Amino acid sequence: MIIVNPEFHRYLWLNFSPIRLIVPPIVLGLLFYVLAAQPDEFPWQARLFKPALFIYFVVMFLWGSYEAASAAVSDLGKKTWDFLKMSSLAPWSLTIGKLFGATSYVWYIGLILLAVIGLSYGAALDTVKFQYIREVAPTPVNLLIYLLLATISGHTAALFMGTHGLQLKKQGIAASFIGGFLVSGFVFSITVGFNLQSLVKEPSEIFWHTLSVNQDVFLIGSILFLLFWMMVASQRTFREELQYKNAPIVLVLFLATFSFYISGYLDNNRYYATLDAELKLVSKIYLSFLIILFFTYLATFKDATDLARYKRWIYAWKAREWRHFFENTPGWAGCVLLLVPAYIFLILHAGVVDVPARIWQPIFSFSNLAFISALSLFVLRDGLVYHAVLLGKIERHKMFWIFLYLFSAYILLPFLASLGGEAHIAAFFYPIGDMSFVSACLPVFMQCFLAAIGLGYIVKSLRA
C-alpha cells in the first residue's frame, strides 16, 4: 500500500465508503441527464454549464470551506490532538494532509463537476448567453485554472483561520468557514467574476517594479504568492502546536517579500512614473515601512497575550542561551528588525521624503518624516498599553478593556477635545503629517513614556 501522507490517508478511510463513492456520480448523472433532456434552443451540453458551475460553487466553495475549517480543530474536539503531537508527523505533512484530506470527498464531487464544466464550456460559449466568459477565460483551461485557484485559496484560508482556533483551543469554525467562502468568492470574482475583474484586469499589462507582465499571468502569480504564504502561515501554526519553536525569521521573510510585492504596484501608477529614480526608491521604502508597521501593530497585539514566551525569552537571556533566546523572540521584534533600517534609510533621505505632499498626493495622503515618526510612536504607545492590559492583573474581560482604551484614545478624547475648539492638540490623538517633527511627535512621545511607566509597574508586580 502506498502511503502518500498518513493524515491524507486517514481522511480517505473516513470519507470513502463504497456507498459514498457511488452516490455522487449517480446523483449528478441523473441530474445532468434530466437537464440535458429538457427541450431548449441551445445544444444539450450548453444546458449543463450553468448548473454545473452553480453546484461547483455550493460544493467546493461552501462545503469545501466548511470541511477545511473543521479540519484544523477536529482533533481538538475528538481529543486526538495529543497523539498527533507526540508522533513524528511533520508540520508540512499535517498541513497538506488536512488541506486535501479533509476536502477529499468534496474534491471527488468537484472533479466530476469540473469535467462537466470543461466539456460543456465550448457549447455554452457558442451561445449568446455565455459569450462574455470568453473575454475573461478564452479557453476551458483558463476557466478550470481559475476555479481551482479560487477553490484552493478558499480552503487554505479556511484552514489557516481554523489553525488560530487550534491555538486558542476553541472549536468554533463559523469565522474560518465564512472567511474561506469569502476568499473563494473573491478570487473567483477577480479572475472570472463579472464585476471585479475589470478593476483588477485594467490595464491589460501590469507594471510591477521594472517588469511589464501580462495581466492574467500577474493575477495568477499574485494568487499563488498569497496562497503560498497562507499555506506557510498554516504550517507555522501547526509547527508551533507540534512543539517546534517559531522564531520570527519566517515573519521577517514574509514582510520583506510582501512589502516588496505591494510596493511593486507603484510602478503601475502614472504619477509615479513622473518621479525621479531616488524619489521612486524612497517612495517604495516609505510604502514598505507603512506595511511593516501595520504588521508590527498586529504582532504586538498577538505577542501581548503570550506571557510565558516573554518569560522564556528573559530566562534565556539571563542564562545566555542564545538559541533559546532567538527561538522565543516575539514577532514584533522581528518586525522591528526591518523597520529600523527602513526608518534609517528614510531619515538619510529626509530631504526627499519631505518633498511637498503635492507630488505624493495621488499615492499617499501623508508623506513626511513627521508623519511616519508619529505613526510609529502611536504603534509603540498602543503596543505598550496592550502589553500592560493583557499581561497585567486584570483577569476577566480583557478585550473589553482594550476596546475601551481604543474607543477612549481614538474617539472619545478627541471628540471632547474638539468641543474646546483647540485644533492644534490633534497631534495628541492622531499621527499628523502636516506639522513640524517635534509638534507631531512630542505629544505621543509623552504618552509612550507614561505607557512605559505603566508597563514597568505591571512587570514589577509580575516579578513580585
Partner 1 sequence: MSLASVQNINFEYPRKRVLKNISFEIEEGSITALVGPNGAGKTTLLRCMVGLETPISGRVIVNGIDVHDRPRDAHRHIGYLSDFFGLYDSLTVRQCLTYMAWCHKLPLQNLKQKIEALAEEVELTGYMDQKAGALSRGYRQRLGVGLALIHDPKCIFLDEPASGMDPEARVHFSALMVRLKNRGMTIIVSSHILAELEEYCTDMLVIRDGEIKSHIILEEHRAAQEAVLRIGLQTTDQKYIKIIESYTGVSGVRIAGHSVALAFNGGPDRQVTFLKYLVGKDVPVSEFTVMQKSLQAAYMELAISGDDSGLQKMEKAAQAAESKAKP
Q: What is the C-alpha separation between 25 and 365, in angstroms, rounded? A: 56
Q: What is the C-alpha separation between 255 and 334, in angstroms, rounded? A: 10
Range in contact with partner 1 (rule: CB under 8 A) among 42-50, 55-63, 81-89, 279-287:
81-89
**9 scored as a contact of partner 1 (CB under 8 A):** yes
String marking each residue 319-358 x if it binds partner 1 according to CB under 8 A: x---------------------------------------
Q: Which is nearer to partner 1, 82 or 276 (CB)?
A: 82
**247 scored as a contact of partner 1 (CB under 8 A):** no
Residue type, 24: P
Q: Which is nearer to partner 1, 16 or 449 (CB)?
A: 16
Least CB distance to partner 1 at residue 98 (A): 13
Element (H, E) at 213: strand 211-214
**16 scored as a contact of partner 1 (CB under 8 A):** no
Choice from 13, 169, 320, 424 touching partner 1 (CB under 8 A): 13
Cα end-to-end span (Å), the chain: 59
Range in contact with partner 1 (rule: CB under 8 A) among 74-82, 107-115, 200-208, 257-265:
74-82
Residue of 148, 124, 119 whose CA lies nearest to 134: 124
String marking each residue 25-64 x if it binds partner 1 according to CB under 8 A: ----------------------------------------
With contact defined as beta carbons under 8 Å apart, do 227 and 149 qualify?
yes
Q: Which is nearer to partner 1, 26 or 464 (CB)?
A: 464
**302 scored as a contact of partner 1 (CB under 8 A):** no
Q: Which is nearer to partner 1, 85 or 170 (CB)?
A: 85
Range in contact with partner 1 (rule: CB under 8 A) among 185-193, 212-220, 236-244, 403-411:
236-244
Positive or negative, the Cα torsion across 206, 208, 214, 216? negative
Give 223-229's long-range contacts (Cβ < 8 A, gap of 24+). Answer: 223/149, 223/153, 223/187, 223/191, 224/149, 225/257, 225/261, 226/153, 227/149, 227/152, 227/153, 227/156, 229/254, 229/257, 229/258
Choice from 30, 33, 87, 115 touching partner 1 (CB under 8 A): 87
Positive or negative, the Cα torsion across 341, 343, 347, 353? positive
Range in contact with partner 1 (rule: CB under 8 A) among 135-143, 173-181, 240-248, 447-455:
240-248
Cell numbers given for 17: 465508503
With contact defined as beta carbons under 8 Å apart, do 64 and 155 qualify?
yes
Positive or negative, the Cα torsion across 283, 284, 289, 294? positive
**85 scored as a contact of partner 1 (CB under 8 A):** yes
**6 scored as a contact of partner 1 (CB under 8 A):** yes
For partner 1, the binding residues (CB under 8 A) are 3, 6-7, 9-10, 13-14, 78-80, 82-89, 242-244, 307-308, 311-312, 315, 319, 393, 395, 462
